[in-house]
């Protein structure tokens, strides 16, 4: 996977038998690509959000199993399977809310377990990990097209967090819709709430849209209600980390506030997510595990204390938007509408897979060790 004009370095790359990511903790000040050569480094990169966004951590998680095999250098198939099981457990649980991570890890682990030599196990893992990436790339393109058609007359989009190229293996989910609109020649501009406390909106969404030449305005999260009420937003489009069987949507903390405020202002609220983000085993949003992060992310800003020491801090990384507040969900197989229990079940049962993007850049990097 390489990047095209205006795209910047690719978020996740497997090339020359190595797993590399763009370290997102350093953006926008510095574009540094780092190599993940051990399971410890893979887990650390996911936990500290050097790679982040549900589909992107799924892509890294899948290839993390190949890294584990290379690091462990098993002498027997039994040993290779033990490494897959142990590394799969560690990587697959590094962050709990985005279902794409455990989904991708389980998928690659199951495929590789079938190998009857050490080499076959490793090759099956590599091929499946690349499939996860290629499929997400294709899914992003397809959901972007569906979203752009639905929003053909809505040009002023508010999003949240970063659900773009940096968060996926393709052009993004919510921002994929924005890129597809731009590609179709529609005027489009984006409002990006900064997304406290780690500023994915201010640091990442503005960075990737700005370099793609798409007008973007950053605002404090707390200004979003006023913006939505002012008539300056035609639609809210966000990504998702996990969507329950009934359509409840877990996404970055603050999404729920935007959905409530959008409903009050009469602004439609859309979610863009690949089928890999749906979790049919979770009946409704109350059952979704919400990642609680280090209080230090709140207690300090720019290295300075924001609270007296030892004040209690609650730092949930995600919230759940009830399905009643979701106008529609853009997926690679089409636009899902209420009743979500029915439309989600049908979409997941359809088994349709989007065509893999035949981009020669993409193929080139999947054809090596
Ligand atoms: O904590 P993060 O930065 O990984 O959270 C990411 C989000 O909440 C995104 O909106 C979500 O993963 C969808 S990305 C296509």
Each residue's pLDDT tens digit, 108-167: 999 999 999 999 999 999 999 999 999 999 999 999 999 999 999 999 999 999 999 999
Does residue 363 lie within any of the structural domains? no
Q: Which of 105, 137, 169 is the last residue of a domain?
A: 137
Q: Which among 47, 161, 164, 194 is the best mutation to test ligand 1's pocket, defined by most ligand atoms within 8 Å of the CB? A: 161
Q: Do 180 and 321 belong to one domain?
A: yes
**152 touches 186 (CB < 8 A):** yes
User: What confidence score (pLDDT) does residue 352 get?
Assistant: 54
CATH number at residue 242: 3.40.50.10470
User: Measured between alpha carbons, how far is 63 from 126 in angstroms, rounded to an integer?
Assistant: 7
- Taking only the tens place, the pLDDT of each residue in 48-102 is 999 999 999 999 999 999 999 999 999 999 999 999 999 999 999 999 999 999 9
Q: Do 193 and 289 belong to one domain?
A: yes
- Taking only the tens place, the pLDDT of each residue in 200-231 is 999 999 999 999 999 999 999 999 999 999 99
Q: Do 130 and 237 belong to one domain?
A: no
- From first CA to last CA, the distance across the chain in angstroms is 14
Q: Do 235 and 105 belong to one domain?
A: no
Ligand 1 neighbours by CB, cut-off 6 Å: 49, 52-55, 98, 161, 163, 167-168, 173, 200, 239-241, 251-252, 317
CATH number at residue 94: 1.20.120.420
- Taking only the tens place, the pLDDT of each residue in 183-197 is 999 999 999 999 999
Q: Considering only CA atoms, which residue is closest to atom 8 of ligand 1?
A: 252
Q: Do 53 and 117 belong to one domain?
A: yes
Number of domains the chain contains: 2
Q: 241 CA to middle of ligand 1, Å?
A: 6
Does residue 305 lie within any of the structural domains? yes
Q: Do 99 and 201 belong to one domain?
A: no
CA nearest neighbour of 315 among 288, 292, 290: 292
Does residue 181 lie within any of the structural domains? yes
Q: Which domain holds residue 152?
A: 142-350
How crowded is residue 311: how many other Cβ atoms within 10 Å of its Cβ? 11
Q: Where are the beta strands (DSSP E) in 317-361?
A: 318-321, 328-331, 334-336
Residues marked active site are found at: 241
Half-sphere exposure of 85 (CA within 13 A, CB side): 8
Q: Determine the atom of ligand 1 nearest the C-alpha atom of 200.
A: 3
Q: Which among 49, 53, 242 is the best mutation to test ligand 1's pocket, defined by most ligand atoms within 8 Å of the CB? A: 53
Tell me how far CA of residue 28 lies from CA of 8, 288, 340, in angstroms.
11, 31, 38
User: What confidence score (pLDDT) does residue 366 get?
Assistant: 42
Q: Do 172 and 234 belong to one domain?
A: yes
Q: Do 248 and 199 belong to one domain?
A: yes
Planar angle of CA 255, 260, 264, nearest 5 degrees: 145
User: What confidence score (pLDDT) does residue 302 get?
Assistant: 87
Q: Do 104 and 186 belong to one domain?
A: no
Q: Do 337 and 231 belong to one domain?
A: yes
């Amino acid at each position: 996977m390489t990047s095209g004009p205006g795209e910047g370095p690719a978020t996740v790359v497997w090339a020359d038998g190595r797993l590399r990511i763009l370290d997102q903790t350093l953006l926008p000040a510095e574009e540094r690509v780092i190599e993940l050569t051990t399971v410890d480094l893979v887990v650390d990169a996911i936990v500290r959000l050097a790679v982040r966004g549900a589909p992107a951590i799924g892509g890294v998680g899948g290839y993390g199993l190949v890294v584990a095999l290379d690091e462990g250098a098993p002498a027997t198939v039994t040993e290779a399977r033990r490494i897959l099981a142990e590394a799969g457990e560690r990587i697959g649980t590094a962050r709990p809310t985005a279902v794409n991570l455990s989904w991708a890890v389980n998928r690659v682990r199951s495929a590789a377990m079938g190998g009857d030599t050490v080499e076959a196990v490793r090759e099956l893992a590599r091929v499946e990990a690349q499939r996860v990436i290629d499929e997400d790339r294709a899914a992003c393109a397809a959901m972007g097209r569906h979203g752009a058609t639905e929003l053909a007359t809505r040009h002023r989009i508010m999003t949240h967090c970063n659900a773009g190229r940096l968060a996926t293996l393709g052009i993004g989910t919510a921002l994929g819709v924005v890129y597809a609109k731009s590609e179709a020649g529609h005027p489009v501009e984006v409002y990006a709430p900064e997304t406290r406390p780690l500023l994915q909106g201010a640091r990442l969404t503005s960075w990737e849209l700005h370099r793609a030449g798409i007008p973007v305005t950053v605002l404090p999260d707390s200004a979003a209600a006023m913006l939505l009420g002012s008539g300056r937003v035609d639609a809210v489009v966000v990504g998702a980390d996990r969507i329950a069987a009934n359509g409840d949507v877990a996404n970055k903390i603050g999404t729920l506030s935007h959905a409530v405020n959008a409903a009050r202002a009469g602004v439609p609220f859309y979610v863009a997510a690949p089928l890999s983000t749906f979790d049919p085993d979770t009946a409704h949003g109350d059952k979704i595990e919400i990642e609680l992060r280090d209080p230090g992310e709140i207690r300090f800003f720019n290295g300075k204390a924001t609270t007296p020491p030892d004040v209690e801090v609650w730092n949930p990384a995600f919230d759940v938007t009830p399905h009643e507040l979701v106008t529609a969900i853009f997926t690679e197989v089409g636009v899902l509408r209420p009743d979500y229990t029915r439309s989600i079940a049908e979409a997941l049962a359809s088994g349709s897979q989007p065509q893999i993007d035949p981009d020669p850049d993409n193929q080139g990097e999947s054809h090596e060790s």
